[in-house]
Amino acid sequence: MPKKLKKKAKKTEELPEEGEAQQVGFKPGPEENKDTEWEKVDAVFAKAKESYLNGSTFDDVISSLIATLEEMRSLKTEPMGGLGAGPEMNLPAQEGEEQI
């Protein structure tokens, strides 16, 4: 005797009424700790000052400081790519999938 396939009844999808909007977008990113982020900037300035006081030229210190701060900013705004590195989409869950 052949086995019967069971299918789940599909739920009817309700469309949002006028005035209601379904929100789809990016999931919020991780909360940043402002104190920790600023401590990194303070450490960079402290090292730049130490380097200047130990004999580096002012131009070299400023150039290095600018390059370091720009690198910190680029890592914060443009993280390294790859699988799972980008923001995740906040999509509604799909219901009523068939089961065989």
| pLDDT tens for each residue of 31-53 | 778 888 899 999 999 999 999 99
Q: What pTM did the predictor assign?
A: 0.48
Instruction: Locate the domains of the chain by residue range.
Output: 36-77
**7: exposed, middle or buried (C-beta count within 10 Å: 0-12, 13-18, 19+)?**
exposed
**CA separation for the pair 71, 74 (Å, rounded):** 5
Residue 33 is predicted with a pLDDT of 82
- Reading the block at residue 52, the tokens are 């200047």
